[in-house]
Amino acid sequence: MVTINDKVKCCGCSACANICHKNAIRMVQDAEGFMYPKADASLCNNCGLCEKVCPVTNKEAHKTQDLKKAYLIQHRKKDVLAESTSGGAFTAIAEYVISQGGVVFGAAFDSQFKVIHTSAHTSTELAKFRNSKYVQSDLGDTFCQVKSLLSKGTMVCYSGTPCQIQGLRKYLMKDYENLILVDVVCRAVPSPGVWEKYYQYENSKGHIKDIRFRDKKLGYQYSTMAIKTQNGKIRREGIESHPWLRMFFSGMIIRPSCSACRFRDPHRISDITIWDCFNVYQLDKRMNEQLGVTRALVHTEKGQDVLGKICDRIHVHEIAYEDAVKGVKEMRESPAMHPDRRKFFADLNTMTFDCLLQKYYPNTLKVRVKKTARLALNYLGLDVIVKHWLKKRK
């Protein structure tokens, strides 16, 4: 029976809960707001399936025949590009699947801005998947839905973080010709419980209409988090000053398993891996870097076939595999958890969010100076030049 003694060893993929024929396992939020499996011993018949499908303890080996193909991708439609995190490669793949009568799964907001995995059956519905949501998504029973669709012969595309894709693959227990797996390169996932509290805090200041974790209004190189309220106001700030981005990127609210992620590897079990490309100027000068570009690795023949089918929807340039993965830290190193994490989570349950932010992420003079400097450089059109220069020096 599944028992979590060490939280670093559970990525919350829910494969165990989905596989249990006795419905003995539920995913339950812990005090830090992350989902973990909780088994009811009275319903368990000790079949051992839950342990067998765990991707952390039984990691699926990556494909031995990895094609090692790498591409830079940009969707041809400007509106798709504007809404996507990078180059909109995911939308192009998903549009192809829909055109084949298939079903696409990805992460979207529900009506309360909770991040959940859900399905799309039409191209219009795909908009909800665009843009990375920096919160761990609730997978619900999507693995069961996928299995049911696959066994009926429906084409399915499932996208998610590497641990979610591993979880699905373990749950399915075999390869399906009609399944396309797309994973993102993932730094870490923040707590859904903290997100709920943060959302309530922001919503109390002004009713929230829309949230973008990666807004491109100030350009791709200076992507900001944007929160739009019902009265039309938009709060748009970068990593140097936005409270959510500061909490995330400092390692304060990341899932413990992300700090020892077992799936940080350029070789994947997915068909296609997608991620950001901030150094497109070094890889291919033909692409407009301010609109955003997706870097993609194609691991399988199936992935290569899909890429061939979406060529009319995208601008695509092949690059050397070694260049694509060179220096990509998120593929190799796990971020550390913040040293004040314990204190932060203890305070989370006793303090108002406002006080919590003032204590751990105050809007100091240094923060305000950094923000003003970035905005000024962006306004003068110099931020990209400065970023390139800093990167070169590094």
Ligand X SMILES: Cc1cc2nc3c(=O)[nH]c(=O)nc-3n(C[C@H](O)[C@H](O)[C@H](O)COP(=O)(O)OP(=O)(O)OC[C@H]3O[C@@H](n4cnc5c(N)ncnc54)[C@H](O)[C@@H]3O)c2cc1C
Least distance to ligand X from the beta carbon of 161, Å? 5
Question: Among residues 39 and 184, whose Cβ is nearest to ligand X?
Answer: 184
d(CA 244, CA 200): 13
Placement of tokens 């000024």 in the chain: 376
Cα–Cα distances in angstroms (integers) from residue 24 to residues 17, 19, 43, 46, 313, in the given order: 8, 10, 5, 10, 45
Residue 91 is a binding residue for ligand X (CB under 6 A)? yes
Residue 221 is a binding residue for ligand X (CB under 6 A)? no
Residue 74 is a binding residue for ligand X (CB under 6 A)? no
Among 119, 159, 166, 257, binds ligand X (CB under 6 A): 159
Residue 223 is a binding residue for ligand X (CB under 6 A)? no
Question: Among residues 183 and 237, whose Cβ is nearest to ligand X?
Answer: 183
d(CA 285, CA 19): 47
Cα–Cα distances in angstroms (integers) from residue 261 to residues 98, 158, 271, in the given order: 32, 20, 20
Total interface residues for ligand X by CB under 6 A: 32
Question: Among residues 49 and 275, whose Cβ is nearest to ligand X?
Answer: 275
Residues 6+ apart with CB under 8 A from 36: 4, 7, 10, 12, 27, 28, 30
Least distance to ligand X from the beta carbon of 139, Å? 9
Among 71, 109, 113, 129, binds ligand X (CB under 6 A): 129
| Sequence-separated contacts (24+) of 34-38 with Cβ below 8 Å | 34/7, 34/136, 34/191, 34/192, 34/193, 34/255, 34/256, 35/136, 35/138, 35/192, 36/4, 36/7, 36/10, 36/12, 37/2, 37/4, 37/10
Residue 187 is a binding residue for ligand X (CB under 6 A)? yes
Question: Among residues 49 and 103, whose Cβ is nearest to ligand X?
Answer: 103
d(CA 335, CA 246): 14
Least distance to ligand X from the beta carbon of 350, Å? 28
d(CA 371, CA 233): 19
Site mask for ligand X (CB under 6 A), range 302-331, x = bound: ----------------------------x-
Residue 181 is a binding residue for ligand X (CB under 6 A)? no
Residue 87 is a binding residue for ligand X (CB under 6 A)? yes
Which range of residues in 19-27, 46-54, 186-194, 282-290 is near ligand X by CB under 6 A?
A: 186-194
Residue ranges in 240-351 assigned as alpha helix (H): 243-249, 280-283, 301-309, 321-325, 341-348
Least distance to ligand X from the beta carbon of 173, Å? 22
Per DSSP, what are the bridge partners of residue 227? 211, 235
Residue 270 is a binding residue for ligand X (CB under 6 A)? no
* 3-state helix, strand and coil shares in percent for the chain, rounded to the nearest 5: 35, 20, 45
Placement of tokens 């929230």 in the chain: 208
Residue 242 is a binding residue for ligand X (CB under 6 A)? no
Which range of residues in 185-193, 222-230, 339-347, 372-380 is near ligand X by CB under 6 A?
A: 185-193
Least distance to ligand X from the beta carbon of 242, Å? 15
Least distance to ligand X from the beta carbon of 118, Å? 9
Cα–Cα distances in angstroms (integers) from residue 149 to residues 105, 153, 170, 251, in the given order: 12, 7, 17, 37
Placement of tokens 């080996």 in the chain: 61
Least distance to ligand X from the beta carbon of 342, Å? 23
Question: Among residues 169 and 187, whose Cβ is nearest to ligand X?
Answer: 187
Question: Among residues 49 and 104, whose Cβ is nearest to ligand X?
Answer: 104
Among 18, 85, 191, 250, binds ligand X (CB under 6 A): 85
Site residues, ligand X (CB under 6 A): 84-91, 106-107, 115, 129-135, 137, 159-161, 184-187, 189, 274-276, 294, 330
